[in-house]
Amino acid sequence: GQSLEQPSEVTAVEGAIVQINCTYQTSGFYGLSWYQQHDGGAPTFLSYNALDGLEETGRFSSFLSRSDSYGYLLLQELQMKDSASYFCAVSGSARQLTFGSGTQLTVLP
């Protein structure tokens, strides 16, 4: 089976940088995805890493280390609108997504 661990809550101030970590255990591994979900809304896709290294998309970056079964989402120049839950998800042997429990990010003014 698959399991993921990520912090339940993170708080940061506007303009800061925050890193949300995710460690995983899976019987097969194809990649690590990140999704954002605002309160009451649906999850939206942010990024996907299949290979080791850093992927950058605007203010958001995602990193993967397959050897360490570890990844993170980096959010730079935080804005109030970034307050949301962030989920990591692994694509395992069944090529389906298994989601973590989510990290609630609160951005303070």
Partner 1 sequence: SQTIHQWPATLVQPVGSPLSLECTVEGTSNPNLYWYRQAAGRGLQLLFYSIGIGQISSEVPQNLSASRPQDRQFILSSKKLLLSDSGFYLCAWSAPGLSQETQYFGPGTRLLVL
Residues that bind partner 1 (CB under 8 A): 30-31, 33, 41-45, 48, 50, 87, 89, 91, 95-102
Pair 2, 95: CB distance under 8 Å: no
Residues 6+ apart with CB under 8 A from 84: 36, 37, 38, 39, 104, 105
CB of 23 to partner 1, least distance (A): 15
Q: State which residue, 15 or 41, has the beta carbon closest to partner 1.
A: 41
Comparison of 72 and 100: residue with beta carbon closer to partner 1 = 100
